[in-house]
Structure 1
Amino acid sequence: MARAGFRSPWSLVPWAAALLLVLSVPRALALPEICIQCPGSVQNLSEVALYCKRTPELMLQGHCCLNGKGTILGLDLQNCSLKDPGPNFAQAHNAVIIDLQANPLKGDLANTFRGFTQLQTLILPQGVSCPGGINAWDIVTFYISNQTCQGQRNLCNSTGDPETCPENGSCVPVGPGLLQCVCADGFHGYKCMRQGSFSLLMFFGILGSTTLSISLLLWGTQRRKAKTS
């Protein structure tokens, strides 16, 4: 017979198991701000919702279609009274499909989609041009109330201009209708003409010595003035 106040080691097993279970459950991923920027929820028959439902690993939360890591692959902000996508829009730079129809969008959207290299379907209000123009997309379809830009093109493969980037640089797409030149390994500077790695130690050494020289010169000048006054 066990004494009063004494617990058998076996009585602690359920508590230990419960504690391990709690610790093993992953914390819920914080929902990106862009997913809750617009009130309401995604319509079941929207293109983003249908895209999300076709893949079991994806889930709809707020106005976003997310994968298991919390990466936004689909974004539905239709009819959200947006004049521009807003500062949080860059959180959806990995999105494959984005719906912005029925919004009073203003201005050129080209730079808005800088970094959206994975985007393949973009639904816009009627009268708003596809970012990068029609040449940045395989198909541009016009409907009564919206238009769809589909199949983002890699302009690096379609420019046909060998002078797009310098000899020691390569073209890299950075969004619809956007590209940039990246210097090859071992080259840097204007038009990638300088060979060798950029020496930060030398740069800061020169900067430091120049600053020190100017400081000593100013200190000597001020001291001389103080003595003569």
Structure 2
Amino acid sequence: MGRAAGSGFLRLLLGLAAWGGPGGAAGTSPVCGCCPGPVRNGSSVAQYCRSHPALVLQGRCCLRGDVEQGLIEGLDLGNCSSPLLCAGFQAARRALLIDLTETPLENIPNATFRGFTRLQSISLPLALECPGGSVAWASVTTQGHSRTCRGQRNPCNSSGELAWLCPETSLCAPDGPGLFQCLCSGGHRGYKCLREGTFPLLLFYGTLGAVTTSLALLAWGTQRRKAKAS
């Protein structure tokens, strides 16, 4: 077997592994097959995937099968006829680039991209704005009927306006384009991180066990009396 044939065989094996692997695999998520046909030749996803030997094309996804089976690095849902995003779109939340051009999408709620912290490029129909608005991206360009948003900004670092939204007992953390979350710090927990100390697991599970045991004994006693009465 020649080097070229061996390389092709290896890529096939990686593709099969990625198709059935966890964490955004095409075999467990419908997003890679929700649009007919493979990744479009002219899409940014196809160009990116073919320029990186470790990546494989499978359905509408560009997968990294050699590092983490089924990890979706790129997603091309362009030229789909549905006005709605495919089911399982959240499976691509670790993708670096997404192409949604040439679709009849009319609106995408910003919360749809919650958790898409690795996203660095997304191409959309010209009628749609960038997720999180243009301020959430380093650059926004338009060409023909499409808009491309590149370089997702960290909302916690790029502006001090969000700092006051998180309590002093928490840290601001990015959670997608224009989105953030407040992570409790310094041993704080609970609503608005107002409680201190770790969660009392021993007390919680002890109480839960006692209540469960009491209910089980009560049910057993009730059933036993009914059995004797009959």
Which interval holds the TM-score relative to the shorter structure?
0.7 to 0.9
| Match of residue 221 from structure 1 | none
Residues in 2 aligned to 1:77 and 1:176: alpha-carbon distance in whole angstroms: 19
Q: State the Cα distance separating 1:167 from its structure 2 match.
A: 1.3
Equivalent position amino acid for 1:173 in 2 = P
| Match of residue 108 from structure 1 | 108
- Deviation string for 1:97-138 (max 9, x for gaps)? 100111111333311111111100100011111111111111
* Counterpart selection for 1:46 from 37, 43, 49: 43
* Counterpart selection for 1:28 from 16, 24, 32: 16
Q: Which has the larger radius of gyration?
A: 1
Identical positions, percent: 49
| Match of residue 122 from structure 2 | 122
Equivalent runs, 1:62-77 vs 2, <5 Å? 62-68=59-65, 69-77=69-77
Q: Secondary structure at the match of 1:163?
A: helix
Residues in 2 aligned to 1:210 and 1:46: alpha-carbon distance in whole angstroms: 58
Q: How many residue pairs were aligned?
A: 192
Q: Root-mean-square deviation (CA), in Å?
A: 2.5
Q: State the Cα distance separating 1:87 from its structure 2 match.
A: 2.4
Q: Secondary structure at the match of 1:147?
A: strand
Equivalent position amino acid for 1:106 in 2 = E
| Match of residue 90 from structure 2 | 90
What's the TM-score once normalised by structure 1's chain length?
0.75
Equivalent position amino acid for 1:37 in 2 = C
Q: Secondary structure at the match of 1:34?
A: helix
**For structure 1, which runs of at least 5 residues remain unmatched after alignment?**
1-24, 217-229
| Match of residue 141 from structure 1 | 141
Residues in 2 aligned to 1:197 and 1:130: alpha-carbon distance in whole angstroms: 40
Q: Would the alpha carbon gap of residues 187 and 75 (structure 1) be closer, same or farther in structure 2, given more than 3 Å must change? A: same
- Deviation string for 1:49-97 (max 9, x for gaps)? 1111111111111111111222110111101112221321111111111
Q: State the Cα distance separating 1:204 from its structure 2 match.
A: 5.4
> Are residues 1:178 and 2:179 paired?
yes
Q: Would the alpha carbon gap of residues 26 and 147 (structure 1) be closer, same or farther in structure 2, given more than 3 Å must change? A: closer
What's the TM-score once normalised by structure 2's chain length?
0.74
Equivalent position amino acid for 1:43 in 2 = R
| Match of residue 150 from structure 1 | 150
Residues in 2 aligned to 1:50 and 1:142: alpha-carbon distance in whole angstroms: 19
> Are residues 1:57 and 2:54 paired?
yes
| Match of residue 189 from structure 1 | 190
Q: Would the alpha carbon gap of residues 210 and 147 (structure 1) be closer, same or farther in structure 2, given more than 3 Å must change? A: same
**For structure 2, which runs of at least 5 residues remain unmatched after alignment?**
1-12, 219-230
Residues in 2 aligned to 1:185 and 1:201: alpha-carbon distance in whole angstroms: 21
